[in-house]
Structure 1
Amino acid sequence: MPSCEPSIATRIVRRTIAPLLAGLGVSACAALRPGRLTDGARDVAYGLHPRQRMDIYVPSGRGSAPKPVVFFVYGGSWANGAKETYSFVGDALSARGFVTVIADYRLVPEVHFPVFIEDGAQALRFVRDNIARFGGAPEAIHLMGHSAGAYNAMMLTLDKRYLAAVGIRAGDVRSIVGLSGPYDFLPFDIDVTKEAFGNARDPVRTQPINFARRDAPPVFLATGSEDTTVLPRNSERLALALRKAGARSVSLKIYQGLGHAGTATALSRLLQWQAPVLDDVVMFLKTSVHPVCQTARKVAPRSASNVAPLSMLHGEEAARRSWSGLRSRAGSGSVVCGELRACS
């Protein structure tokens, strides 16, 4: 078995998928091997802090036409994580034609809310201003995140203050993909959230669900039916809040049998057999049209292949009917009604 020196984040992911990898006869180290970055760049600085660095993955043989961009934010309880650990995400998306950016950001306990979100905004501004050098289209930037990273990406997308502070319009984000993210987790009653958010002046303004808005870009929320770390209700409730606010394109999929890490690890080459997460994400990204563009071009919203979109309903009746529909589509036992026990 090959050896490697694992980071904390690597060990977290490795413990989660080790049984699966053992069944395949390969090591967790091999599954998380750093990407090649053949035509991209590693450790590109977007700020002065040592953790304000990003890796950029570029499709091989990309040609002259600018490619859409995915800005991916990894999780780790806002306290752990390294961009190198998630190179499999860069490999998977760049192989499908997306210039992919994975950035480190400052972590707890060095910083607390909202600094890790502000780092994301700073990185995104750098991407917008420089991604053309790597063949990316600055007008076609999609956000995507897993777990705590999905929280960061969703706050960047829904709370307009963060992007406005760095000169980016909210409408400049083409779409947002949230994988197993915590979006509605008050009160802060576990160590993870106390450490990251305990000093927030207004806890209500830390929750993505409270920024659901009509002009949100297309949203794809994915979670696993067996996620006991960030319960599926987080995605379900955000989907309903967005639809109630009048958002035009909201899709939710609950992957049967997947746990918390599964929505991310299923993107990797070795574990794509677990669930069609990569195919669904790619289809969503390729068919997403921002509401502003939908109005201008009079194009009806499109949803990802094999993804159940929420119906075009509004108000309390909409919430009731949509919730019922979500439960029926999710399948028996897949909607967990309980408290958020951890965020990673």
Structure 2
Amino acid sequence: MKLWLFILLLSVSSGFAQITYELKENIPYYDTESQKSDAYLKERCKLDVYFPKDTSNVVTVVWFHGGGLEGGNKHIPEGLLEQGVAVVTVNYRLHPKVKHPVYIEDAAAAVAWTFNHIKEYGGSPDKIFVTGHSAGGYLASMVGLDKEYLKKFNIDADKIAGLIPLSGHSITHFTIRKEMGIAGTQPIVDKYAPLFHVRKDAPPILLITGNREKEMLGRYEEVAYLYRMFKVVGHEDVELMEMDGYGHNMVYPAIPPLLDFVRARIE
């Protein structure tokens, strides 16, 4: 092996070896008084922070799990491990113990916590990207597009560096429709729909779905309509990606383009 190549490989491998990661688990993201007043909130409204140690000003990805607003638990997608970014992964309260808009309010509280505390973990409040899969993608969209939820925590939603919903509802979520007595096959667009909150000045957006023939309940088509409406209102940084060969469970192949989108917007 040529000497210069050996030195390059050694320096690269040494650089990677210097980065270690830490995981802080089950951090409450509501204040003490809120936890005292609601046992389910105290049990459920916690997050984990996974971060590269001894760093500063790093990108943070807030991840909301899927599960139809009825199930699921916080976790870190494999593709986000050891990527030089901090990951905040969130539990939120679930149907039927709560109903809308509690899910969205919890998501906003977790994002607000991230803005207020991520510096303690080496992150930058100017580099927070919000994402999630399915129901989690829906929550990411709602928190970033309807500014009222974060406004309650004195956070401007436009300070989010980017929104990356993976196969998330763009119409009103089917569990919320069920709570309203509306069939899952009856689409509606009301204030609980990301489509209702399309605006030109929203954060940069990457919309990712599975293949339109493999996705669930017309998911590709509603996301494509969201993309088109952002174009109509003149949003200058919105992308739509369809993952050919994959259906609704397309998280793993979506992580590399997610990271590409993130890195392109902080360089």
Aligning the two structures, in what range does the TM-score lie when normalised by the shorter sequence?
A: 0.7 to 0.9
1:28-74 Cα offsets, whole Å, 9 max, x none, are: xxxxxxxxx95120101112221010011113xx4433211111111
Q: Which runs of 5+ in 1 are unaligned?
A: 1-36, 267-274, 290-301, 303-344
Residue 180 of structure 1, CA deviation: 0.6
Residue among 82, 93, 97 paired with 1:106: 93
1:221 maps to 2:207: yes
1:278 maps to 2:264: no
2:21 and 2:82 in contact (8 A); partners too: no
Q: Which runs of 5+ in 2 are unaligned?
A: 1-19, 36-40, 183-187
Give the corresponding residue for 1:51.
44
Provide closer, same or farther for how the CA distance between residues 287 and 196 of structure 1 changes in structure 2, counting only shifts above 3 A.
farther
Give the corresponding residue for 2:239.
251
CA RMSD of aligned residues (A): 2.2
Provide closer, same or farther for how the CA distance between residues 38 and 241 of structure 1 changes in structure 2, counting only shifts above 3 A.
same
Give the corresponding residue for 1:287.
264
**CA distance in structure 1 between the partners assigned to 2:124 and 2:65 by the alignment:** 22
SS of residue paired to 2:22: coil
**CA distance in structure 1 between the partners assigned to 2:190 and 2:63 by the alignment:** 25
1:143-170 Cα offsets, whole Å, 9 max, x none, are: 0011011111101001111111111012
Residue 197 of structure 1, CA deviation: 4.8
Provide closer, same or farther for how the CA distance between residues 185 and 167 of structure 1 changes in structure 2, counting only shifts above 3 A.
closer
**CA distance in structure 2 between the partners assigned to 1:205 and 1:279 by the alignment:** 32
1:147 and 1:230 in contact (8 A); partners too: no
Give the corresponding residue for 2:57.
66
1:240-266 Cα offsets, whole Å, 9 max, x none, are: 01111111101111011101012x1x1
Residue 196 of structure 1, CA deviation: 4.3
1:69-97 Cα offsets, whole Å, 9 max, x none, are: 111111111110111xx33x1x5324111
Structure 1 residue identity aligned to 2:265: S
1:108-137 Cα offsets, whole Å, 9 max, x none, are: 111111110001111111111111111111
1:180 maps to 2:167: yes
Give the corresponding residue for 1:78.
69
Residue 198 of structure 1, CA deviation: 4.6
1:168 maps to 2:167: no
The answer to which structure has the higher strand fraction is 2
1:216-251 Cα offsets, whole Å, 9 max, x none, are: 111001111111245211210110011111111011
**CA distance in structure 2 between the partners assigned to 1:40 and 1:282 by the alignment:** 20
Residue among 106, 109, 117 paired with 2:104: 117
Q: How does 1:90-169 map to 2 (within 5 A)?
A: 91-169=78-156
SS of residue paired to 1:239: helix
**CA distance in structure 2 between the partners assigned to 1:122 and 1:284 by the alignment:** 25
The alignment's TM-score, normalised by the length of structure 1, stands at: 0.63
Give the corresponding residue for 1:42.
25
Residue 203 of structure 1, CA deviation: 6.1
**CA distance in structure 2 between the partners assigned to 1:75 and 1:229 by the alignment:** 16
Structure 2 residue identity aligned to 1:247: H
**CA distance in structure 1 between the partners assigned to 2:195 and 2:50 by the alignment:** 31
Residue 213 of structure 1, CA deviation: 0.3
SS of residue paired to 1:40: strand
When the two structures are aligned, how many residues end up with a matched partner?
231
Structure 2 residue identity aligned to 1:82: N
Q: Which runs of 4+ in 1 moved over 6 A?
A: none
SS of residue paired to 2:261: helix
The alignment's TM-score, normalised by the length of structure 2, stands at: 0.80
Give the corresponding residue for 1:194.
177
**CA distance in structure 1 between the partners assigned to 2:63 and 2:239 by the alignment:** 19
Give the corresponding residue for 2:17.
none
**CA distance in structure 2 between the partners assigned to 1:64 and 1:193 by the alignment:** 41
**CA distance in structure 2 between the partners assigned to 1:160 and 1:46 by the alignment:** 19
Give the corresponding residue for 2:7.
none
Give the corresponding residue for 1:328.
none
SS of residue paired to 1:162: helix
